[in-house]
Amino acid sequence: MRRSFFAIFAFFAICLLSFSPFIFHSSASAVAATLKPKFYYGAWLPFWQAQNGAADVAVNLNKLQEVSPFSYEISPSGQLIDDLNIGNGSWDGWFSAARAAGVKIIPTIAWFNGSAMLNLMQNTKKRIAHENMIAALAKSENFDGIDIDYESKPAAIRPYFSTFIYGLAIRLHAMHKTLTCTVESRTPPSDGTVITPDERANNYTVMNQYCDEVRVMAYDQGLVYRKLDNAMGSSTLYAPVADPQWVNVVLEQTLKYIKPGKIMLGIPTYGYEWQVTWNNGETTYQRVRSFTYTQAMDRADEVGIAPVRTASGELSLTFNSTTVVGPNPGLTWTVSSTLPLALTDPPANASNTFYITFSDAQSMADKISLAKKLKLRGVMFFKADGMMDPAIWDQIQ
C-alpha cells in the first residue's frame, strides 16, 4: 500500500515537472545552469508524517533544491534504524521524481542518546566503523549526501565528535557527496541564556572546515532566552517558537565561526500550546504539546477565536478551559512579570488559561528575509508534514 501511494505521487510530480519551463532546455548544462539557485530552499520530511509530507513536497518540488527525509536513527549500539523503510524500495518512485526535478536527497541521521554516543566515539575502532557504515549507506542508496543530527551530546564528546565529522567528511567527499551538520542554537551567555552541553560539544570551527552545510535549528525558543523574556513578556504572554530578534542573535553567534555561504537557517513550521498562570509577580508557562498550523487553525475555529499576530511575528490564540494539565517540571518555566492582560479576567467556570503560538507563512517569510539579508546559503523548513501553512510555497522565490 505504501509503495502504491508513493508511486502515485511520484508519477504526479513527474507529470507536473514535465510541463515546467525548466525542462525545455536543449542541453544538460543549460538545465543545470537554470536550476542552480542563488538562495537554497530545503525541507525536512518527518517519518511520523511521511505520507502527508511526501504528498505536499511532491507537488512543490520545483520550489526546493534539497530535501532531507528525517528517516534514520541510531540504536544504542550504533546501528542504523530505517524509520521510513527506505531500504525496502518503497520510496524509489518518489526519489526518482525529486531527482528529475534536480532536488538533492540528503537524508537525516538522528541520534539523541548522549552517553551511547560518547561511548562509541571515544572508541577509535567503533567510531571508524560508524563512519564507514554511514558512508556505505550514502553509496548504496545513491544519496546526494548525509545530514548528521546528533543531539543531547555531553560536553566531553567535543574532540571525538570533531574527529567523527572529519572522518565522515573525508569519506563522503571522496564520493563527491555532501556532508551537512545540524546544530543547536547558540546565544551569548551574558544574555542570561542557560548554556546546554550541546553548545560545548559542537566545535563550530571544525564544522566550518569540514561540513558543506551547517543547518542551524533556530527554533523551540520558548522561554530559554531571558533577555527577550524580560523585555517582551512583562504584561503580555511571550513564548515564541522563534522570534526573529532571537534568531538574529543566534545567527550572529554562528557567523562568528561559520561562513554565511554554508549556513542553512532552520525555520519552524509549527507551534506549541502552553498552560499559563500568574502568581506573585511571576508568570508560569507549562508546555502542553506541539501544534501544526492546521491543528492550531482548527482549534481557533473550535473556540471561536481569530488568531492574532504577536510581537514575535507569530500567530497566537489565548482561551480558557476547564482542562487541567498536570505538573511537568521538565517543561515548565517561570519569568518575572506583571499580570498579563490575558490572565486578568478568566471565566469562573473555566479558570485554566491556554496559549498557542505558531508559525504561518508570514512568520516564515520574515525569517527567509533575515536569511537573505545576512547572505546565508538558504533555509530549511522543519517540517514539511502536509500540515504547515500552504501559503508558504508562494513565498519561496
Which tens digits make up the pLDDT trace of 107-165? 999 999 999 999 999 999 999 999 999 999 999 999 999 999 999 999 999 999 999 99
Higher pLDDT, 44 or 38: 44
Residue 30: band (very low, low, confident or very high) from pLDDT cuts 50, 70, 90 = very low
Residues 6+ apart with CB under 8 A from 47: 69, 70, 71, 83, 84
CA dihedral 117, 121, 127, 133 (to 10 degrees): 20
- Cβ atoms of 120 and 150 closer than 8 Å: no
Q: How many angstroms separate the Cα of 294 from the Cα of each of 28, 124, 225, 393? A: 40, 47, 27, 15
Q: Which CATH number fits domain 2-269+360-395: 3.20.20.80, 3.40.50.620, 3.40.50.720, 3.30.450.40?
A: 3.20.20.80
Range in 73-82, 184-193, 244-253 the model is least confident about: 184-193
pLDDT value, residue 26:
37
- Of 3-12, 70-79, 95-104, 141-150, which range is least confident? 3-12
DSSP code for 38: S
In terms of Cα–Cα distance, which of 164, 182, 162 is closest to 172?
A: 164
Please state, in angstroms and rounded to a whole number, the distance separating the CA atoms of residues 373 and 68: 25
Domain ranges of the chain: 2-269+360-395, 275-356
In this structure, what DSSP letter does residue 345 have? S
Average pLDDT of the segment spanning 277-304: 95
What's the pLDDT tens digit per position in 233-253?
778 999 999 999 999 999 999
Over 60: is that where the pLDDT of 79 sits? yes
pLDDT at 14 over 60: no
SS3 content of the chain, % helix, strand, coil (to 5): 45, 25, 35
Query: Phi, psi at residue 12, to the nearest 5°?
Result: -60, -45
Residue 384, pLDDT above cutoff 80: yes
Sheet containing 308-309: which strands, arranged edge to edge? 308-309, 315-321, 352-358, 270-279, 282-292, 332-336
Tens digit of pLDDT for each residue in 165-187? 999 999 999 999 999 999 999 88
Residue of higher predicted confidence among 189 and 222: 222
What band does 191 get if pLDDT is binned at 50, 70 and 90? low
What is the value of pTM for the model shown?
0.89
Top-confidence residue, 225 or 316: 316
* Average model confidence (pLDDT) across the chain: 88
Q: How far apart are CA 179 and CA 165, in angstroms?
A: 9
Closest CA to 383 of 54, 13, 106, 7: 54
Over range 322-335, report the average pLDDT: 88
> What is the pLDDT, as a whole number, of residue 268?
98
Specify the range with the lowest mean pLDDT, choosing from 181-185, 260-264, 320-324, 348-352.
Answer: 348-352
| Closest by Cα among 376, 178, 151, 161 to 266 | 376
- For residue 200, the model assigns a pLDDT of 83
Three cell numbers at 255? 557567523
pLDDT at 1 over 80: no
Among the residue ranges 35-39, 112-116, 176-180, 303-307, the one predicted with the least confidence is 35-39
Q: How far apart are CA 278 and CA 19, in angstroms?
A: 57
Omega of the bond leading into 126 within 30 degrees of 0 (cis): no
pLDDT of residue 47: 86
State the amino acid at position 182 in one-letter form: T
Please determine, for residue 11, whether its predicted confidence score (pLDDT) is greater than 50.
no
Q: Is the pLDDT of residue 15 over 70?
A: no
Find out whether 10 and 58 touch, Cβ atoms under 8 Å.
yes
Residue 295 in this model has a pLDDT that exceeds 80: yes
Burial of 318 (0-12, 13-18, 19+ CB in 10 A): buried
Question: Which pLDDT band holds residue 41 (cuts at 50, 70, 90)?
Answer: very high
Residue 5 confidence (pLDDT)? 46
**Range of weakest confidence among 26-30, 58-62, 283-287, 347-351:** 26-30
Does the pLDDT at position 192 exceed 70?
A: no
Q: Note the pLDDT of residue 151.
A: 95
